[in-house]
Amino acid sequence: MRDRVIRDEIHRDILVPSSHATIIDTKEFQRLRSIQQLSTCEYVFPAATHNRFSHSLGAYYLAKQLTIALEEVQPNTISKDDAELVHLAALLHDIGHPPYSHLLETPEVFATYHSHEHWGRLLLESTETEIGKALRQVIGEDRMNRLFALMDGQNECDGIPIPPFMKEIVSSQLDVDRMDYLVRDQANTGAQIGGFDIPRVFRALRVGENGHFYVKNWGLPAIEAYLVTRYHMYNQVYFHKVNMLTQNYLVKMLSRARELALNGELNISGRLQLMLLKDDLTAVEYAELNDSHVKVALPDWANHDDEILSLYAEKLLSRKDFHKSIRIDSLTIEMVDIIKTRLEQVVSSKGFNPEIHVLYAKISKRGYMPYEQGILLEDGRDAAEHSSMIRSLSQPNERALIFIPESIRDEVEAMVRDWIKPGQSSLSQFD
């Protein structure tokens, strides 16, 4: 097999040596073509149909570029063998994602539930999967152990240290995973946010005496741009209210399908049966699941007699009569917990079943976390100490969303506003 060049929409030419191509060509890695990067975000941004396959290649490319940049400014900081492990860790970091990515990573849907990291390890360790066999052939058993230690964030493997910066390339507040998905998701959603300069970030990185990365002082503006981009992508794209709503529809639909199937009221066959009903799912079986197995069920479920299943399936098929959010930005999880019963009683009095027609979502973003895998500058201080802009991004962001039928939204919204005035103190009457 020859080396190849893969043309990418973001990074342009990605050079893949023949040995790594054998890993990419396995059916388990190719499966990532059928796992959407942003789950249901296409209901808001129609072009957001890019997949985990292209993102994984992008992270791989950036990992290679960063180790090359590091070799230029600090020669011999990382060995050729360790650099390859960093590249492969970036390439394989998402191999265990379920259909619709993080969204379906929940025991509400999977009868055999594990995190995507756990499934990824099972796929790579298995002697039954194509990718497990290919990985062993490329790097051997001993180096596989070091690769797994790196992916787990360990400090050493078999007594040989793993420098912290190697782990930071793959998983940190400034890793190649985040950098790729931010630029890729921005490009595919069309979000006008501003972006940041990845090559400049790389040029500013150095490895300190303690083995951790730090940023040269002149690189601070590039770090600010990166963190501002991350902040706005979460607020404008990942936490978009319609995205949160359609995620709700999809999980509730699959959860209901599982419940009906267990009660003998819905016949589920094929791959969906593996996901929803099989409680001893193997790695090989897990690798057979992708988004298409959910999508193909939607037309039949939209015509099912069960009101809950058909309602959610129909909305995902037609994108009409969507529920609308109550437009109160100050709603907190605590507020929702207190008013929930009264709210559902009102919705019921308007002729709607609250079990179906009141949906809740939680937005929780911790923000930039200084001192917890923070980003350090060359004087050893966190970037937040150097930048008031970064300090402003360190505040946690947690709020609640409530979705109800559009026909009663204005009336119910006014009631909720009245209940929570002048703030949380007025909620005590409902406690």
Is residue 367 a part of any domain in this protein?
Answer: yes
**pLDDT value at position 187?**
97
Sequence-separated (6 or more) residues with CB below 8 Å from residue 414 = none
What is the pLDDT tens value at each position of the chain, 431 positions in all? Answer: 799 999 999 999 999 999 999 999 999 999 999 999 999 999 999 999 999 999 999 999 999 999 999 999 999 999 999 999 999 999 999 999 999 999 999 999 999 999 999 999 999 999 999 999 999 999 999 899 999 999 999 999 999 999 999 999 999 999 999 999 999 999 999 998 989 999 999 999 999 999 999 999 999 999 999 999 999 999 999 999 999 999 999 999 999 999 999 999 999 989 999 999 999 999 999 999 999 999 999 999 999 999 999 999 999 999 889 999 999 988 999 999 999 999 999 999 999 999 999 999 998 876 777 656 789 999 999 999 999 999 988 877 789 999 999 999 999 999 999 999 855 444 444 44
Please give the pLDDT value at position 431.
42
In a domain, 387, yes or no: yes
Residue 296 inside a domain? The answer is: no
The CATH number of the domain holding residue 157 is 1.10.3210.10
From 122, 156, 189, the end of a domain falls on 189
Does residue 373 form part of some domain? yes
Q: Which residues contact 247 (CB under 8 A, 6 or more apart)?
A: 39, 40, 103, 361
Confidence (pLDDT) at 398: 84
Query: What ranges in 9-154 are assigned the alpha helix state H?
Result: 18-24, 27-30, 52-73, 80-91, 116-125, 130-151
Q: What CATH number corresponds to the domain at position 430?
A: 3.30.70
Residue 249: half-sphere exposure toward Cβ, Cα within 13 Å:
31
Dihedral Cα 152, 154, 157, 162, nearest 10 deg: 110
DSSP codes, 359-419: EEEEEEE----TTSS--BBTTS-BHHHH-HHHHHTTS-EEEEEEEE-HHHHHHHHHHHHHH
Q: How many domains does the chain have?
A: 2
Cα–Cα nearest to 149, from 86, 65, 243: 86
Position 289 scores a pLDDT of 98
- Separation between Cα atoms, residue 336 and residue 355, nearest integer Å: 15
Helix 116-125 vs helix 130-151: crossing angle, to nearest 10 = 120
In a domain, 183, yes or no: yes
Is 210 among the domain residues?
no
Domain end residue (candidates: 189, 208, 238): 189
The residue with tokens 């609250």 is 354
From residue 289, how far is each of 275, 302, 317 by CA, in Å? 8, 21, 20
Long-range contacts of 285-289 (CB under 8 A, 24+ apart): 286/96, 286/98, 286/112, 286/119, 286/122, 286/123, 287/27, 287/28, 287/31, 287/123, 287/129, 289/98, 289/99
Q: Report if residue 263 sits inside a domain.
A: no
- Domain-terminating residue out of 156, 189, 222: 189
> Which position has the token pair 């039954």?
128
Cβ neighbours around 69 below 10 Å, total: 16
Residues 181, 329, single domain; the answer is no
Q: Domain range holding 158?
A: 4-189
Model-level pTM? 0.95
Does any domain span residue 149?
yes
